Copies of this chain bind each other. A is one copy, B any other.
Amino acid sequence: VAAPVSRTGRQRQRNARGQGARLTEDIVTGALTLIERAGSDEAVTLRAVAREVGIAAPSIYPHFADRDAIVMAAVLRIFDELTNAIVQGAAAAGPDPVDRLVGGCEAYLGYGLSHPARYGVLFSERRTSAGDYCEPVPLGPDGRPVLEFGAEAFALLVSAIQDCVKEGASDSTDVVADATAVWVALHGTVTLGTALPGFPWPAPAQFVRKFVLSLAHATVAQDHS
């Protein structure tokens, strides 16, 4: 009987003593690979992950309690990727707050549409608070408790609109509600765009700019200066 081999064909060698936690990382990576390959998290089974990583199925138990714990770890990683994409998109847009808002939103859309399987896992199940599946109250990078999935990305959106208001580029009177409207439209664009690739979608560039400006009650800098 041959030893289990990962899909890549590479045989995994045992971690050195004290480095057992590396397998935790490999399991999450394997789960992400399966999600990418199958287009959904249904393919993430203990045995499939074990095959992908190149280990025996029971070897997962010291690292994760069950399938759900693996998926959750993958979800947290994907949220990090999404947040990073938004930050970079905003940063690349320059100093103007409206440009930064639109840049962040375009990055959100770009990440979602170019990683549909990963994005689809984020909100595929009912999620209440992060405290349900790991530490009682997980902390964000700034020490504040992260109470909701995607809260970090949403906070970026709120402050981007807030910045527009500060500089007179938006006359939003309810920044949180308007940020919610923008988020909902972005999310809908990603998920419908993924589910219905045959639909005659408008060109993303103008489309997103248009509805983001509209929902954020924002106007381009030239109109205000």
Chain A residues close to B by CB (< 8 Å): 39, 42, 123-129, 147-150, 174, 176-177, 180-181, 183-189, 191-192, 194-202, 207, 210-211, 214-215
- CB pair B148–A195 under 8 Å, yes or no, is no
22 interchain pairs (CB within 8 A)?
Answer: A39-B126, A123-B191, A123-B192, A123-B196, A124-B195, A127-B195, A127-B196, A148-B196, A148-B198, A174-B202, A176-B200, A177-B202, A180-B207, A181-B210, A181-B214, A183-B188, A184-B185, A185-B185, A185-B188, A187-B188, A188-B188, A188-B191
Contact B188 A184 (CB under 8 A): yes
User: CA separation between A93 and B198, bound complex, in Å?
Assistant: 32
- Asked if A198 and B123 sit within 8 Å, CB to CB, the answer is no
Docked pose: A185 CA to B196 CA in angstroms: 15
Known: A181-B185, A188-B189, A215-B214. A199 touches B148 (CB 8 A): yes
Pick from A39, A124, A186, A211 the residue with the most CB of B within 10 Å: A211
Query: Which B residues are CB-close (under 8 A) to A39?
Result: 126
Beyond A180-B207, A186-B188: 5 further Cβ-contacts under 8 Å? A39-B126, A125-B195, A177-B202, A185-B188, A191-B191
Chain B residue contacts of A186, Cβ below 8 A: 188
Say yes or no: A207-B127 contact (C-beta < 8 A), given A184-B192, A187-B192.
no
Per the bound structure, the CA–CA distance linking A174 and B186 in Å amounts to 19
Beta-carbon nearest neighbor of A39 in chain B: B126
- What residues of chain B lie closer than 8 Å to A200, measured between beta carbons? 176
The 4 closest A-B pairs by CB, nearest first: A188-B188, A184-B188, A123-B195, A187-B188
Q: Tell me which of B147, B180, B201, B215 contacts A180 (CB under 8 A).
A: B201
A191: chain B residues at CB < 8 Å are 123, 187-188, 191
Task: Give Cα A132–Cα B127 distance, bound, in whole angstroms.
Answer: 33
Q: Are A211 and B215 neighbours in the complex by a CB distance under 8 Å?
A: yes
Bound Cα distance A179, B203 (Å):
14
Q: Taking the nearest CB of chain B, how far is it from the CB of A159, in angstroms?
A: 17
Report the minimum CB–CB distance from A170 to chain B (whole Å).
13
